[in-house]
Amino acid sequence: MAALLASGAKKILPQQAARTLASAVGDKQPLQAVYPVAAGALTARLRLRTGETFTGGSFGADTPAAVVGETVFTTSLVGYPESMTDPSYRGQLLVFTQPLIGNYGVPRRTRDAYGLLRHFESERIQCRGIVVSDYAAKYSHWNAVESLGAWCAREGVPAITGVDTRALVHILRGQGSTLGALGSQASADAAIAWDDPNALNLVAQASTPRVRVFNEAGDVNVALVDCGVKNNIIRSLCELGARVTLVPWDHDLMGGAAQFDGIFVSNGPGAPTMCGATIAQLRRAFAAYRRPIFGICMGNQLMGLAAGLNAYKLRFGNRGHNQPAVDLTTRKCVITSQNHGYALDDSVMPPGWARYYVNANDGSNEGIRHLDKPFRSVQFHPEAKGGPLDTAYLFAEFVDSVRAAKAAGTAAVGADEESASASAASASA
């Protein structure tokens, strides 16, 4: 066995404790990483389905039974309250590559003029657990009201510290995002039911069950299809003067198309292929709707599937605040916030459609656009919380196009398009 020793204080662990990475040399035994905890302190264990085990200190909920999720990592340097409450992380164990997490605590639950939480992207923690290298038990921030650990414990979310996240990310980058089991006392050799969250319709779980309206006095009415929408998407549209009608993921869009000046498809968790009802609605909209349609993240994938593209799972996804995307219409590169594990295969575009943005790192799709109709989407998050805001202009462009279509008297659905929509509905069925 080879042992790597590293000194350094952990906030809730012994000052002189040594991190031990015990892995077999020359054989195929999986990595066993151990960081001893203080006497009497609670131990947490992360076990990957492929056998690697990381033992450290527990600072979240005491969960003797392991919580299973897809283990993914984010390279974001800031914004852990926003990331943890992003519905796109539903069903996942979230690994932070930023070494120090928790140092500015958790902010108070204040709401804005639209009734949305200012500092969180939804009403609760969405990820199933978090993994960090160095948890800061002592926090300091003018707006903080509790520690990260207290928040996780209150919401029943396990959390582990003392993990060599560099080694863990190296594994995930090599073999791809992997199912993991995290618990405060989860034995490394305990029987675990490896249920894949991506086999579930996570969008249906994250979506609103009813229609809701924000900023009722807005001058244009935008239908926002909730696939797991972030609060800041709603806020960004409202701040631009739009009335936002939030509808469930499987809402009959064309049944009430005339009341909507534009359609917006949100982000969301899981596999896009699980959202057959949304894809069918968008296919009908493409055939009949004349006003602007815009999609973000999951919305990009669903619009692509409705247009005739296929989606595939990325090896380890793109999650972080520093992903470069190139606008193929201007050749300009923008830095974007991203959180997705799937992408569109844009190697062959359907007739009438073109690639919009491309990832400058891995060449994956970052957006599509229709050549004649006002339909387009992006894979990244223009409304990024917490940043960057390089592409916030896309929200303004969308709302401006919605206003222009309304001012021009563009009908939502033309007579000839209604028959085309009916045909598309029959084909979907």
Pairwise CA distance, residues 70 & 93, whole Å:
6
Helices (H), 176-297: 202-206, 231-239, 276-288
Report residue 179 as tokens. Answer: 């199912």
Pairwise CA distance, residues 69 & 175, whole Å:
16
Identified catalytic residue from 70, 366, 383, 417: 383
Counted residue by residue, the chain has a size of: 429
Q: Which amino acid is at 183?
A: G
> Is there a catalytic annotation at residue 227?
no
Q: In what order do the strands lie in the sheet with 310-327?
A: 212-214, 242-247, 220-225, 262-265, 293-296, 375-378, 365-370, 353-359, 310-327, 332-345
Q: Are strands 100-101 and 220-225 parallel, antiparallel or unpaired?
A: unpaired
> Is there a catalytic annotation at residue 381?
yes
CA dihedral 402, 404, 406, 407 (to 10 degrees): 160
User: How would you label 274-304 residue by residue, b for 16+ Cβ within 10 Å and e otherwise?
Assistant: bbebbbbbbbbbbbbbbbbbbbbbbbbbbbb
Annotate 294-314 with DSSP letters as a single string. EEETHHHHHHHHHHT-EEEEE
Identified catalytic residue from 127, 152, 238, 297: 297
Identified catalytic residue from 251, 321, 370, 381: 381
Q: With contact defined as beta carbons under 8 Å apart, do 341 and 313 qualify?
A: yes
Q: With contact defined as beta carbons under 8 Å apart, do 279 and 249 qualify?
A: no
Please tell me whether the peptide bond between 64 and the residue prior to it is cis, using omega within 30 degrees of 0: no
Pairwise CA distance, residues 281 & 285, whole Å:
6
**Active site positions, annotated:** 297, 381, 383
